[in-house]
């Protein structure tokens, strides 16, 4: 193994060592909110029961509900749409049709069963919610399909550039010898090959490896191997000091969304979850109160007993159908020989009220009370409805914005570049000329965009109501608004496909044809009216002549 690779492995060792103190924090957070991940500082056994130490699962369910909301509200149906940074290009009909098609093609490949996208994002969503960090790698397997893989945070360490972007990632990886042998492009050491081909239990022996992602200019790969590719992926067998694979990459194959973080200027490149940070005090208090409530309820159901010791023969049997023997000479005027202790149980009701308050606090901490869509009734005006949607946007934006930018956006960028490089979108000649050389950006169907679309529709309806009302007073009011343009924006805002709508040029052509047809019809009607008038005049003249002739004949008679 080259000295440069040893140096990079040593850098990774320092990153893991520097990150080690945060593992205890993640362990505590996992034990309270994400019990399936509570193995940062201890080994979990297969037969171990998850969360058996918890008095209530409500804090963990809040974590589950929020993490499920990310996929339910941010990745439903065709949740991303390709676009460019040029509005004129985005308005071109051919460009819009191709971008819509490319978006559907990309979603189909991402949701291929072999790509493992749904499972990976599900795991990453839960990590992101609990710890404020998540790690997903993306690779192209045998030039045939994508492969997304989630990583446990304890196995990943990363470093930042001066701008705060992640530019180096190290992964602990311990595959079995037989699994390494499945990698056809790996250069295995003779020892690993012997283990993999043994045909016995030795083939299942784990090998300590590491994957490293870094910038190409930080690695001593020859320039002809880079071929203009700015990133490098290196697999190393640390036990046997063997470089398994080193390849240059066009795109950064790792997505690490971070919710909120201090950044490099504060010496901490790891994020944190504000939901868990602010929900931890209430979650711990809820566990303590639930423990007290369970103890109080048990005492209320099975209260402690007061017994006169000298009058009891044997033990006090409090189990079902139990019989306690009492001395026959005991005088019951002195009180019952066995009676329950008087308890003050008002605390149970107070504890239940405290639990409801803490539950509401957890709902706020995990944004669950803020991401519910507003209820719009028929009695509301368009203005009232738009205000409700504005308030929804204001409250939920801090939650959706980082996920949209650093999580979904980063995954879509890298996936599109990988698929484009492997010809998933056809030949370059098939791309409209106006799109060639353009940077692709992404828009997403999020609750924010849904709210914006609802607000746009409400604004359009409100405008029409105002125009109709104003036109009844002054007909010139109808000339204020460009209704066709407003209608186009409202229709597109509601998610209409590009191929459903005519281009603006085609629309103007159709309007012109309609106006010409109307003018021709009006001219024909005018000609027909003139001909009818002439016919009636001629008929009237003929009738008058006939009448005069009749009078003349009558006078002659």
Whether this prediction's pTM lies above 0.85 is answered by no
Token pair for 370: 């803020």
Count Cβ atoms below 10 Å from residue 79 Cβ, excluding itself.
18
Three-state DSSP string of 243-309:
EEEEEEECCCCEECCECEEEEHHHCEEEEECHHHHHHHHHHHHHHHHHHHHHHHHHHHHCCCEEECH
Q: Please give the pLDDT value at position 285.
A: 94
Per-10-residue mean pLDDT, the chain, length 557: 87 94 95 94 86 92 95 89 88 89 94 95 96 95 89 96 90 94 91 92 94 91 79 94 92 93 64 94 94 84 72 70 71 73 76 91 92 81 77 82 87 93 88 90 79 68 77 76 73 63 69 77 73 63 59 53
Could you give the 3-state DSSP secondary structure of residue 53? coil
pLDDT, position 264: 46
Helix axes 117-131, 58-74, angle to 10 degrees: 130
Label residue 423 left, alpha or beta by phi (over 0 means left) and psi (-120 to 50 means alpha).
left
Contacts with 7 (C-beta within 8 Å, 6 or more apart), sequence order: none
pLDDT, position 539: 67
Q: 230: alpha, beta or left, given left = phi > 0 and alpha = psi -120 to 50?
A: alpha
The backbone torsions φ and ψ at residue 174, rounded to the nearest 5 degrees and listed phi first, read: -125, 75
Q: Is the CB of residue 442 less than 8 Å from the CB of residue 80?
A: yes
- What are the φ/ψ torsions at residue 385 (nearest 5 degrees)? -65, -40
What Cα–Cα distance (Å) separates residue 177 from each residue in 152, 270, 462?
A: 21, 32, 68
Question: What pLDDT is stored for residue 275 in this prediction?
Answer: 94
């Amino acid at each position: 193994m080259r000295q440069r690779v040893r140096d990079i492995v040593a850098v990774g060792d320092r990153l893991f060592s520097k990150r080690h103190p945060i593992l205890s924090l993640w362990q505590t957070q996992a034990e309270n909110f994400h019990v399936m991940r509570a193995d940062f500082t201890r080994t979990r056994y297969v037969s171990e029961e998850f969360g058996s130490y918890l008095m209530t699962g409500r804090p963990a369910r809040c974590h589950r509900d929020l993490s499920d909301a990310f996929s339910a509200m941010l990745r439903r149906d065709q949740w991303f749409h390709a676009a460019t940074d040029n509005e004129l290009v985005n308005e071109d009909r051919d460009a819009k049709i191709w971008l819509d098609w490319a978006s559907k093609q990309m979603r189909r490949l991402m949701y291929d069963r072999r790509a493992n996208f749904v499972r990976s994002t599900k795991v990453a969503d839960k990590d992101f919610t609990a710890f404020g960090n998540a790690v997903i790698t993306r690779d192209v397997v045998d030039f045939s399909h994508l492969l997304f893989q989630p990583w446990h945070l304890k196995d990943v360490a990363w470093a930042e550039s001066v701008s705060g972007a992640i530019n180096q990632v190290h992964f602990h990886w311990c595959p079995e010898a037989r699994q390494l042998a499945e990698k056809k492009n790996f250069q295995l050491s003779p020892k690993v090959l012997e283990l993999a081909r043994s045909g016995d239990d030795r083939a299942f022996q784990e090998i300590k490896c590491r994957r490293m992602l870094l910038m190409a200019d930080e690695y001593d790969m020859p320039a002809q191997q880079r071929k203009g590719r700015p990133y490098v992926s290196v697999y190393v067998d640390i036990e046997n000091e063997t470089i398994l694979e080193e390849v240059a990459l066009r795109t950064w194959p790792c997505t690490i969304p971070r919710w909120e973080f201090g950044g490099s200027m504060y010496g901490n490149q790891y994020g944190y979850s504000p939901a868990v940070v602010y929900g931890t005090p209430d979650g711990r208090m809820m566990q303590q109160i639930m423990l007290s409530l369970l103890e109080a309820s048990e005492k209320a159901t099975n209260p402690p007993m007061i017994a006169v010791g000298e009058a009891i023969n044997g033990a006090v049997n409090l189990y079902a159908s139990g019989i306690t023997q009492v001395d026959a000479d005991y005088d019951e005027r002195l009180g019952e020989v066995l009676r329950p202790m008087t308890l003050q149980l008002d605390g149970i009701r107070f504890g239940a009220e405290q639990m409801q308050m803490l539950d509401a606090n957890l709902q706020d901490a995990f944004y669950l009370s803020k991401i519910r869509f507003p209820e719009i009734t028929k009695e509301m005006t368009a203005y009232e409805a738009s205000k409700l949607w504005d308030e929804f946007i204001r409250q939920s934006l801090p939650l959706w914005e980082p996920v949209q930018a650093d999580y979904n956006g980063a995954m879509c960028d890298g996936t599109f570049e990988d698929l484009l490089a492997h010809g998933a979108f056809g030949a370059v000649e098939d791309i409209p000329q106006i799109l060639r050389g353009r940077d692709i950006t992404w828009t997403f169907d999020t609750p924010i965009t849904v709210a914006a679309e609802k607000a746009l529709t409400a604004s359009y309806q409100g405008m029409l109501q105002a125009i109709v009302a104003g036109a009844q007073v002054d007909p010139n009011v109808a000339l204020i608004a460009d209704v066709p343009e407003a209608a186009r924006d409202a229709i597109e805002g509601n998610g209409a496909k590009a191929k459903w709508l005519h281009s603006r040029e085609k629309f103007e052509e159709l309007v012109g044809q309609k106006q010409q047809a109307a003018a021709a019809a009006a001219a024909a009607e005018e000609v027909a009216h003139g001909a009818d008038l002439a016919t009636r005049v001629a008929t009237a003249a003929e009738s008058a002549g006939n009448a005069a002739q009749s009078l003349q004949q009558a006078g002659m008679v």
